[in-house]
A and B are shown apart, each in its own frame.
Chain A
């Protein structure tokens, strides 16, 4: 039966997710506990001269840092199972609230970059494949190969210099204008702050989809079924719209979902360059200042995020590809 097959598939995936998260939690906890950064020291910061050793011990005891790592892991894990991610040391608010807030900002950024890079990459890939061997194809390929080896922060800085500093078209950083009330920020202002970081991520995200789409479409154009279509009088346009898109859309969409990990990684760097207050920036802060609960919370959350992307890609394949869909129905 088709439904039971699907249920087995999903529960298998969920089981994998649970194991992944458990292993990830232990590993991250261990790594953080080995970190050379002393959370108390980084919390106190410039006030180090004023805060005495006794006060330091008090802070450590308040955070539970005086207890052995295993005990801390246990109490953190037990609280986590009840949905309590703890309190962020640097924001002094519940981790989940911080992540939620920061994620909404990042979601806008990543979502915009995801859609632009997907559509642009798909279009570039099709153009290159249809004109295979031409100067246009070579141009697109060169563009993609160059971008694939470009660091995110470097491109971000470059865009900042050109469009924010020299031309002054866009603000230099942040998500909203500084010095105003939160209620007075308009959508247009938010978008203006969003464009450069989103552009940075989109320009870099294009390469993957474009190159894959190009190769896949070239395979399709060389396939036997396209040969038959041509032998039966189909024009190149009909070949593309009847057979090309049908056979390359699914790989492109699933690739785009599976590339969420790269997008997330890229957003960490882009947000840092643009001082964009998203989840990526929070990650950097939590790491540098030894905010263990927030860092672990973000690790678990981002793992779930990337895992969901891959899961969605898998599910789409099963729902759309008739060879898997119908094969399950009859098998």
Chain B
């Protein structure tokens, strides 16, 4: 397995680079007292052209918000800090609004993301920014083996597989260089899951960077190049897929190792305890309360992300 960013030996620039991203929401606590709820903190991730990076974590870890932050579609009461770059340039909210739907494409979770009262062909056409809307839409439908009459169907008339293809198709209307897929396969038939992930893999093989947000580690291992392990709003580890093997000793963070061991084909033992809720985060390392390597330093100081054995880890004691 080659190192990230090395395509046939030449080091390339990351397509997307997110450094120390934090997202907080202003909430009204008691009465008019405002309260900041930090849902993403100190998150870093990099995506290179031609690779699929899976963002894996349990629900509530802030995975979807990462996608919304990159696209710039967080709700108005969100406060974002940190550094995001796309194609080597800083992602300002103005740039985000021109890149959304053109160079950055979004593949959503389910058919609920389609307007129930609009024909699907028209919805795909509406997303086309350049060229003949009709031609672009028909070309994409052909690519995904969608019959001509499908464009006249309403979302509720689509089968699960068709809906998937429509949602992926919508991401291709522009010249997307980055595709963000947010949980694209929940509750689907295994064959449909396979087809969808295969389509995403295809997109990256054509030179795009694909961020696959999922809680399905098994699927991620099969289709991704690298895996970012998410926990309580941050990335605890970024590892190559190959590191997830054997007894998990190639992994760096105790949480990743625990995740790996929890898989049915491995030890099938789950880690006791649960992810801290945003607003009740520990002061030191976010994982400290559940960690078996826990020492005093972990309680006092939140570890910074550091490179380790070709990956990244956020742990004082990982080796």
Interface on A for B, CB 8 Å cutoff? 223-225, 227-234, 238, 242-243, 246-247, 250, 321-323, 326-327, 330
B126 on interface, CB distance cutoff 8 Å: yes
B113/A233 in contact, CB under 8 A: no
Known A227-B73, A246-B118, A327-B156: A232·B113 in contact at CB below 8 Å? no
Contact with A along B142-163 (1 / 0, CB 8 A): 0000000000001011000000
B116/A323 in contact, CB under 8 A: yes
Bound together, the chains give a CA A233 to CA B101 distance in angstroms of: 5
B113/A224 in contact, CB under 8 A: yes
Interface on B for A, CB 8 Å cutoff? 68, 71, 73, 97-98, 100-102, 105-106, 108-110, 112-118, 126-127, 129, 154, 156-157, 170, 173
* Shortest distance from the beta carbon of B131 to any chain A beta carbon, whole Å: 15
B117/A322 in contact, CB under 8 A: yes
A-B contact pairs, 19 of them (CB 8 A): A225-B113, A227-B108, A228-B113, A228-B114, A229-B115, A230-B100, A231-B100, A231-B108, A232-B106, A233-B101, A233-B102, A233-B129, A238-B126, A243-B118, A246-B115, A246-B118, A247-B116, A250-B117, A323-B117
B101/A225 in contact, CB under 8 A: no
CB closest residue in chain A, given B108: A228
Known A224-B108, A323-B154, A326-B157: A230·B115 in contact at CB below 8 Å? no
Question: Chain A residues near B109 (CB, 8 Å)?
Answer: 224
Question: Chain A residues near B154 (CB, 8 Å)?
Answer: 322-323, 326
Question: Chain B residues near A228 (CB, 8 Å)?
Answer: 106, 108, 113-114, 170
* Shortest distance from the beta carbon of A31 to any chain B beta carbon, whole Å: 45
Residue from the set A228, A231, A238, A330 with the largest chain B CB neighbour count within 10 Å: A231
B71/A234 in contact, CB under 8 A: no
- The A contact surface, by secondary structure, is helix
* Shortest distance from the beta carbon of B153 to any chain A beta carbon, whole Å: 8
A247/B115 in contact, CB under 8 A: yes
CB closest residue in chain A, given B173: A232
Our pick among B68, B100, B116, B156 for the contact of A225 (Cβ within 8 Å) is B116
Bound together, the chains give a CA A223 to CA B155 distance in angstroms of: 15
Question: Chain A residues near B102 (CB, 8 Å)?
Answer: 233
A232/B100 in contact, CB under 8 A: yes
Bound together, the chains give a CA A228 to CA B73 distance in angstroms of: 9
Known A243-B115, A247-B115, A322-B117: A231·B156 in contact at CB below 8 Å? no
CB closest residue in chain A, given B112: A224
* Shortest distance from the beta carbon of B237 to any chain A beta carbon, whole Å: 28
Question: Chain A residues near B173 (CB, 8 Å)?
Answer: 232
A225/B126 in contact, CB under 8 A: no
A234/B101 in contact, CB under 8 A: yes
Question: Chain B residues near A321 (CB, 8 Å)?
Answer: 117
Q: Which 9 A-B pairs have the closest CB atoms?
A: A233-B101, A232-B101, A231-B106, A228-B113, A233-B100, A232-B127, A225-B115, A224-B113, A322-B154
CB closest residue in chain A, given B115: A225
Question: Chain B residues near A247 (CB, 8 Å)?
Answer: 115-117
Question: Chain B residues near A246 (CB, 8 Å)?
Answer: 115, 117-118
Question: Chain A residues near B129 (CB, 8 Å)?
Answer: 233
Question: Chain A residues near B71 (CB, 8 Å)?
Answer: 230-231
